[in-house]
Amino acid sequence: MPELKIGPEDWLAIGLTARLAAVTLVVLFVIGTPLAWWLARSRSAAASVVSALVAVPLVLPPTVLGFYLLVLLGPQGPVGRLTESIGLGTLPFTFAGLVVASTLFSLPFVVQPLQSSFAALGERMLEAAATLRAGPLDTFLHVVVPLCRPGFLSAAVLGFAHTVGEFGVVLMMGGNIPGETQVLSIAIYNRVEAFEYDHAHLLAGGLLVFSFVSLLALQWFNRGRAPAGISGADA
């Protein structure tokens, strides 16, 4: 029986998946943090609409989102025509296109933990910072972020792990180009299609262990921690 090991093409898929998850997570925090803060603090009707839009990927089949992104960002779509007109080309079947698709699909996994953490934050700490003449950015960095650290950690773990496990949306948007858009989930699918179940087990088992360990570590970290604003902030 030949020795079972991860081949060079599998390592390419693993490296691409890790790079995609890391870049996507940075984009998610840049977009998701101010969005979650606004959703947690706003009382306008628009906040409910935006919150529902953010949560759509939780119930929408990923292939549907991937299809509409493909249409929107393709050469005949409005965004695709715009990117071509400014010399950026089109995003489908590129790494940048994978980042766009992954960001939209994983957005609720970052926004919702942050929004819950921000909503639980007591007002007294913010008011105390204001009385000390702390600016909004200073207050956020030195008061909000430390108090909401569990929320940020949850968002980071869920956003990264969810991006690693994506399949339908990245297949629709990026296709199956080795070394460019072929992520780990697609590599597993290729192994199954080729009836290489032993290799599929090896890759899928590694992904399963990674997901379980990530969530287990998150549970251990958050165990016994009171929500932000409960312990001392509103006492």
pLDDT digits (tens, 9 = 90+) for 184-222: 999 999 999 999 999 899 999 999 999 999 889 888 887
pLDDT digits (tens, 9 = 90+) for 5-32: 788 888 999 999 999 999 999 999 999 9
As a whole number of angstroms, the distance between CA 88 and CA 104 comes to 20
pLDDT band of 235, cuts 50, 70, 90: very low
Burial 128-137 (b: 16+ CB within 10 A, else e): ebeeeebeee
pTM beyond 0.95: the answer is no
Give residue 234's pLDDT: 40
Q: Is residue 199 within 8 Å of residue 87, measured between CB atoms? A: no
Q: Which structure tokens are listed for 102?
A: 């992954």
What is the overall mean pLDDT for the chain?
87
As a whole number of angstroms, the distance between CA 70 and CA 67 comes to 5
pLDDT band of 227, cuts 50, 70, 90: very low
Give residue 230's pLDDT: 36
Residue 101 reports pLDDT greater than 60: yes
Alpha helices (H) in the chain, listed in sequence order? 8-41, 45-55, 62-73, 78-85, 95-119, 123-131, 136-139, 145-147, 149-164, 168-174, 184-193, 197-222
High-pLDDT (> 70) share of the chain, %:
91
Residue 180 reports pLDDT greater than 80: yes
Residue 231 reports pLDDT greater than 70: no
pLDDT digits (tens, 9 = 90+) for 51-86: 999 999 999 999 999 999 999 999 899 999 998 888
- Find tokens 């032993």 and name the residue: 198
Query: What are the chain's domains?
Result: 16-222 (1.10.3720.10)
